[in-house]
A and B are shown apart, each in its own frame.
Chain A
Amino acid sequence: MAIQSIKLPDVGEGVAEAELVEWHVNVGDMVREDMVLAAVMTGKATVEIPSPVEGEVVWRGGEVGDVIATGTVILKIRTAGEGGDEEAEEPARQERPAVEDKPAAAAPAERPVLPQQPEPPPPAAAPSGVPSGGPPRAPGERPLASPAVRLRAKDAGVDLRQLWGSGPAGRITHDDLDAFLQQGSDAPARGGLQPNKAITEIKVVGLRRRIAERMALSKSRIPHITYVEEVDITALEELRARLNADQKPGRPKLTILPFLMRSIVKAVADQPMVNSLYDDEAGIVRQYGGVHVGIAAQTPAGLVVPVVKHVEARDLFDCAKELLRLSDAARNGTAQREELTGSTITISSLGAMGGIVSTPVINHPEVAVIGVNKIAVRPQWDGTQFVPRKMMNLSSSFDHRVIDGWDAATFIQRLKVLLEAPAMIFVEG
């Protein structure tokens, strides 16, 4: 018998730590080789950690949501064979997080350094480990409570069967009763509208936590300037409809986005500053030749931004195809780390949900984000009469530290011209 320690592997270039987002195994589970043990998240990509061995999980380090440094032991597996990194002198039962590894690491390592030495089990612990909360009561089982708690409940007219006990073996404590009474005391009589006092705690982990951190960073660092302009896309929509009617194998259906991406390439040529990353700590703006457009996409887990690289080197259909591939990958959670990073400018579009105005948040350290609002037929004055035109607003934000209002307006006006006369998008030179 030997204990094999599983360390958090190096999951990507230069990634020093990763967030544990899911355990696939529990202590006591038998695992086979290559079975997925845990999932960790770096950047916005999830990496699954497979088991290198077959055996029984005897220890887990860390909880979901913990940020773990690369190389930290996250799991121990007892294997049948010899040659593990730790002889199984006794069943490893400790359940403390691996934080007390300093002395072991400092000691001259006669055997491989362990993050934690096995300790004798605490004297009162049951071999199986007694659940502190106890199992929930089986139906019909009487609630467990001391006579004093029972008496108070009776006096208050509370049926203890309604309560969940937080004490050992599910014992209902005075605190549990207090909490229940507090909750119930100002509830109105039965019938009518009931206030819902429920509070559900949702741990902000994984992708959500990443989004939260990124948004906070953007909004705290970047003084946003938001500029809204309307664009008449009647001509563009006509063109798009024609192209989509002309189905050819290998050509995906076009949305408005590939046109916008190509327009950005054109507009960036005149206003190169908007296609930059601003390293605000170093005080350097890196203006990119290549246009790497991030497209904010909603997935079941939250917002991700797949990146279409080198849009300047892609034609309309190539853009559409790449966009489709990436957004599918993002939605399925199979997008690679590289496909979710490296953008120089971002488009934020909610399609039909786009509203009339939005205030998009710049994807730090970029300096511009183009928000696409919904397309609607609106009356326009053509000089003699009102005519119905397909209109769309662009709500765009810029980092005012490096982009002035004039430059921002010039960039958007250029986009407007291109989109209103789409043939110009395809004129080279």
Chain B
Amino acid sequence: MKDIACKLLVIGAGPGGYVCAIRAGQLGIDTVIVEMAKAGGTCLNVGCIPSKAIIHAADEYAAAAGMAAGRNAMGIHVAEPGIDFARTVGWKDGITGRLSLGVVNLLKKAGVKALVGRARFRDGKTVEVETETGLQVVRCENVVIATGSAPVELPVLPFGGRVISSTEALSLPDIPKSLAVVGAGYIGLELGTAFAKLGSKVTVVEAQERILPLYDAALTQQVAKRLAALGVDVLLNARVTGLSADGGALLVETPKGDERIAADRILVTVGRRPVTEGWGREELELDMEGRFIRIDGQCRTSMRGIYAIGDVTGEPMLAHRAMAQGEMVAEIIAGRRRNWEKVAIPAVCFTDPEIVSVGLSPEEARRAGYEVKTGQFPFAANGRAMTLVSEDGFVRVVARADNHLVLGIQAVGAGVSELSAAFALAIEMGARLEDIAGTIHAHPTQSEGFVEASLKALGHALHI
């Protein structure tokens, strides 16, 4: 097969890789992208998107179940609801399929050549791709490594049989009667909550002393409360020792003693690891930073002409970070002056209720040496939240005490993920509390919580 020569080769068509390739194509760069699975990567096929589909289905089902059980505040009642989970999964697959195809089309439209197969570096300028039709050699001036991440396996609980990762959890043939979730990070809790709503008996096992250890307690408290209401058992400070001899139960050490958790499925969500093997890293001289590839402010690795973006470069492993990096790298390769200078990367947990965090938490801001002012406004005082029967949660604003520059915004509550746009914009634009306080927020919306939290920090909230 004839060698391909190009200016840019992108390895991995996840959100980082495909955005990089599209942008490069737009900028007229001769670009090739290689993907061994489906375009869209983890995010689109086995991550963000399908999990949100399952979560939404679970929410709908749980709402109907609540109505059937006479627990609906609005007075709606229905007959016993049912769910055809195979169809649910089919619907979900339809969405991911459409989106994946969409990515393929976007790449095509941008003039990017897409190869399907496993890429492997021969040297810093040459990559071999094992395609269905044979070995394709690509010679390129620049390479972007966007190989992403994969679920971490526990040595005592190797994946297989009942032990599944998030990928399998999104395509189960049926709803497990009982589900043990190992790891109370956002992936485990999102999926655990969804299955609890779908009727599974869910037990969450977490090694640390609280759920969602990366978020502060004020935020996670709301989630813990909801988990309890959903009948999810949460075992904290618990260590998994393995499976029972018959494989039907999870063995856990807790401060109160050993426990045996019977489970049809055991979902292991103890984090994700960067994919740094299997693509010929050993042929290169890349400096590493822990498990990750070391990059600089322009996503350059220690080798000239080789860039890395996304999960393979470190935390936070978020699709939107990878996309922003991909876009930037494409522009750098096009000769533009670019540097990573984002102020904040928003983080969202699609738990129940949802959590949004942008910028610094009060504690982080204090640790960074700022004297801070905070303002918190509860959704219990928000009219729109009441009409949505979701009064749990709040919006919190963290600002510098001296000049009122907003350093961080957090919220927990139903649907607050959509507020992340306003939060991120405020921080990226360098808003002060007065800027938010001086912006009219539409009534009645939950976004009023944002302006009220800012007013609260200024000392004169109106609705509390």
The yes or no answer to B367 lying at the interface (CB within 8 A) is: no
A162 CB, min distance to chain B CBs, angstroms: 15
| Stretch in contact with the other chain, from A127-135, A239-247, A349-357 | A127-135
A154/B338 contact (C-beta < 8 A), A126-B404, A131-B403, A135-B403 known = yes
Contact B432 A168 (CB under 8 A): yes
Contact B428 A146 (CB under 8 A): yes
Q: Which residue from B430, B459, B460 sits with its C-beta under 8 Å from A171?
A: B430
The yes or no answer to B434 lying at the interface (CB within 8 A) is: yes
Contact A147 B428 (CB under 8 A): yes
- Alpha-carbon separation in the docked complex, A147 to B344 (Å): 11
Q: Which residue from B338, B341, B403, B428 sits with its C-beta under 8 Å from A130?
A: B403
List B contacts of A131 (CB < 8 A).
402-403
Interface contacts (Cβ under 8 Å), in number, total: 51
The yes or no answer to B435 lying at the interface (CB within 8 A) is: yes
A154/B339 contact (C-beta < 8 A), A124-B458, A135-B402, A135-B403 known = yes
List B contacts of A167 (CB < 8 A).
430
- Alpha-carbon separation in the docked complex, A147 to B429 (Å): 7
B300 CB, min distance to chain A CBs, angstroms: 16
The yes or no answer to B87 lying at the interface (CB within 8 A) is: no
The yes or no answer to A145 lying at the interface (CB within 8 A) is: yes
- Alpha-carbon separation in the docked complex, A155 to B335 (Å): 10
A145/B337 contact (C-beta < 8 A), A124-B458, A127-B459, A130-B403 known = no
B337 CB, min distance to chain A CBs, angstroms: 5
List A contacts of B460 (CB < 8 A).
123
The yes or no answer to B28 lying at the interface (CB within 8 A) is: no
Say what secondary structure dominates the interface of chain A.
Answer: loop
- Alpha-carbon separation in the docked complex, A167 to B434 (Å): 13
Q: Which residue from A127, A134, A146, A154 sits with its C-beta under 8 Å from B429?
A: A146
List B contacts of A170 (CB < 8 A).
403
Q: Which residues in chain B, 415-464, are within 8 Å of chain A measured between CB atoms?
A: 428-430, 432, 434-435, 437-438, 458-460
Q: Which residues in chain A, 388-408, are within 8 Å of chain B measured between CB atoms?
A: none
- Alpha-carbon separation in the docked complex, A135 to B403 (Å): 8
The yes or no answer to B405 lying at the interface (CB within 8 A) is: yes
Contact B430 A144 (CB under 8 A): yes
Contact B341 A150 (CB under 8 A): yes
Q: Which partner residue on chain A sits nearest B331 by CB separation?
A: A154
The yes or no answer to B336 lying at the interface (CB within 8 A) is: yes
Interface 1/0 per residue, A107-132 and B, CB below 8 Å? 00000000000000001101100110
Q: Which partner residue on chain B sits nearest A172 by CB separation?
A: B430
B122 CB, min distance to chain A CBs, angstroms: 34
Q: Which residue from A130, A144, A155 sits with its C-beta under 8 Å from B337?
A: A155
Say what secondary structure dominates the interface of chain B.
Answer: loop
Q: Which residue from B339, B403, B434 sits with its C-beta under 8 Å from A124?
A: B434
Contact B458 A169 (CB under 8 A): no
A168/B435 contact (C-beta < 8 A), A130-B404, A144-B405, A154-B337 known = yes
Q: Which residues in chain B, 336-389, are within 8 Å of chain A measured between CB atoms?
A: 336-339, 341, 343
Total chain B interface residues with beta-carbon distance under 8 A = 22
Contact B434 A168 (CB under 8 A): yes
Q: Which residues in chain A, 286-327, are within 8 Å of chain B measured between CB atoms?
A: none
Q: Which partner residue on chain A sits nearest B459 by CB separation?
A: A127
List A contacts of B430 (CB < 8 A).
144-146, 167, 169, 171
- Alpha-carbon separation in the docked complex, A274 to B71 (Å): 109
B336 CB, min distance to chain A CBs, angstroms: 7
- Alpha-carbon separation in the docked complex, A150 to B460 (Å): 33
A124/B402 contact (C-beta < 8 A), A146-B429, A147-B428, A155-B336 known = no
A157/B403 contact (C-beta < 8 A), A130-B434, A168-B432, A171-B430 known = no
List A contacts of B429 (CB < 8 A).
146-147
Contact B337 A157 (CB under 8 A): yes
List B contacts of A168 (CB < 8 A).
403, 432, 434-435
Contact B432 A130 (CB under 8 A): yes
Q: Which partner residue on chain A sits nearest B343 by CB separation?
A: A142
Q: Which partner residue on chain B sits nearest A167 by CB separation?
A: B430
List B contacts of A124 (CB < 8 A).
434, 437-438, 458
List B contacts of A157 (CB < 8 A).
337
Q: Which residues in chain A, 132-159, are within 8 Å of chain B measured between CB atoms?
A: 134-135, 142, 144-147, 150, 154-155, 157
- Alpha-carbon separation in the docked complex, A167 to B405 (Å): 12
List A contacts of B404 (CB < 8 A).
126, 130, 169
Contact B403 A169 (CB under 8 A): yes
List B contacts of A145 (CB < 8 A).
430
- Alpha-carbon separation in the docked complex, A142 to B87 (Å): 51
Q: Which partner residue on chain A sits nearest B404 by CB separation?
A: A130
Interface 1/0 per residue, A71-93 and B, CB below 8 Å? 00000000000000000000000
List B residues at the A interface (Cβ < 8 Å). Answer: 336-339, 341, 343, 400, 402-405, 428-430, 432, 434-435, 437-438, 458-460
Besides A130-B432, A134-B403, 18 other A-B contacts (C-beta < 8 A):
A124-B438, A126-B404, A130-B404, A130-B434, A135-B402, A142-B343, A144-B405, A145-B430, A150-B341, A154-B338, A154-B339, A155-B336, A168-B434, A168-B435, A169-B400, A169-B430, A169-B432, A171-B430
Sample (30) of A-B pairs whose CB atoms are under 8 Å apart:
A123-B460, A124-B437, A124-B458, A126-B434, A126-B458, A126-B459, A127-B459, A130-B404, A130-B432, A130-B434, A131-B403, A134-B405, A142-B343, A144-B405, A144-B430, A146-B428, A146-B429, A146-B430, A150-B341, A154-B338, A155-B337, A157-B337, A167-B430, A168-B432, A168-B435, A169-B400, A169-B403, A169-B404, A169-B430, A171-B430
